[in-house]
Amino acid sequence: MAKKKPVHQTSESGVTRRGFLGSVGAGAAAVAAGVSSRAEAVPEITDPADMVGIALTINGQIHRLLVEPRWTLLFVLRERLGITGTKAGCERGECGSCTVLIDNRPRYACLTLAVEAEGTEITTVEGLLEGEELGDVQRAFAEHDAFQCGYCTPGQIMAAEGLLRSNPSPSPAEIRSGMSGNLCRCAAYQHIVNAVADVADRRKRGGGS
């Protein structure tokens, strides 16, 4: 009876299974080492000469700071100024959690460069507080259960505030359209519409901001 060929024996093509696996492993290690060495050889260091000085007016207060031209307003708010009510979500203009008001209009802070915002009036969710008390939109969201996890809520509130500043008496359809750029994974949409409509009604009757 013919003997079985040992698993390490050279095949007709001249390559053994053990040799093949060994060469693949060595190749992967070499690639990893090359990537690692390149990453270590090119550290991300910002030349101070590339920084620019700007002054941002946020919630009525002027902040003077040095920024890189590529920094977004979202990054500067959270990481450089500690104004963290504005949330980082998708960071590509799809979810709306980073919405702020720039000259009273809702804007995605993740798609706005900090240098672009110089010379404008920036309002974040912190700027809607009335002293230590919640603003009327913030209160309405709480009263109408217009959130669940709450992560998107700051952006929702800023979008609602921007909508009401441009259209004090929106219809339900206009509210849905005005809020359509803000996503809620918890799907509290009807409660959000109810909250915005309530604020509009209160302001019309003189009971809101």
- pLDDT tens sequence across 42-53: 546 667 678 999
Strands (E), the chain: 52-58, 61-67, 99-102, 105-108, 121-123
In a domain, 3, yes or no: no
Range of the domain at 72: 48-204
In a domain, 190, yes or no: yes
What is the structure's pLDDT at 35? Answer: 44
The mean predicted confidence, pLDDT, of the chain is 86
What is the structure's pLDDT at 49? Answer: 74
pTM above 0.95, yes or no: no
CATH number of 82's domain: 3.10.20.30
Q: What is the DSSP string of 17-53?
A: HHHHHHHHHHHHHHHHHHHHHHHHHS-----GGG-EE
Amino acid (1-letter code) at residue 46: T
Q: Range with the lowest mean pLDDT among 14-18, 129-133, 194-198?
A: 14-18
In a domain, 199, yes or no: yes
In a domain, 27, yes or no: no
Q: Range with the lowest mean pLDDT among 47-56, 80-89, 170-179?
A: 47-56
In a domain, 77, yes or no: yes
Judge whether residue 16 has pLDDT over 50: yes
CA distance 125 to 157: 7
In a domain, 10, yes or no: no
In a domain, 35, yes or no: no
CA distance 4 to 94: 62
Judge whether residue 109 has pLDDT over 70: yes
Q: Range with the lowest mean pLDDT among 16-25, 65-74, 86-95, 164-173?
A: 16-25
Taking each helix axis from N to C terminus, what angle separates 136-143 and 189-204, rounded to the nearest 10 degrees? 130
Percent of the chain clearing pLDDT 70 (strictly above): 76
In a domain, 59, yes or no: yes
DSSP 131: T
The total number of structural domains that make up the chain: 1
Judge whether residue 68 has pLDDT over 50: yes
- pLDDT tens sequence across 111-153: 999 999 999 999 999 999 999 999 999 999 999 999 999 999 9
